[in-house]
Amino acid sequence: ILLNLGNAYLGKGDIYAAVSAYERCLELWDGDAQTAKSLQQTIEELKATMGP
């Protein structure tokens, strides 16, 4: 659900809210390591676009 929420925020162009939702999703993630790694990479890429 949090992943979908992050995707929805991203679709609206709200990068800050998307990153927040993705970070919360990563905190709660208990699935496979590959998905967690991919999610972490997405968070880092989005943060890089946000600037300082």
The pLDDT profile of the chain, 52 residues, written as one tens digit per residue, is: 788 999 999 999 999 999 999 999 999 999 999 999 999 999 999 999 987 7
Total domains in the chain come to 1
- The label of the residue with tokens 């390591």 reads 33
pTM reported for the whole predicted model = 0.84
Task: State the amino acid at position 35 in one-letter form.
Answer: T
CB-based contact 43:6 (threshold 8 Å): no
Can you give the pLDDT at residue 46?
Answer: 95
- DSSP code for 31: S
Helix (H) or strand (E) holding 26: helix 15-28
Task: State the amino acid at position 6 in one-letter form.
Answer: G
User: By residue range, what is the domain housing residue 28?
Assistant: 2-50
- CA dist 13 and 33 (Å) reads 28
Can you give the pLDDT at residue 44?
Answer: 96
Can you give the pLDDT at residue 14?
Answer: 95
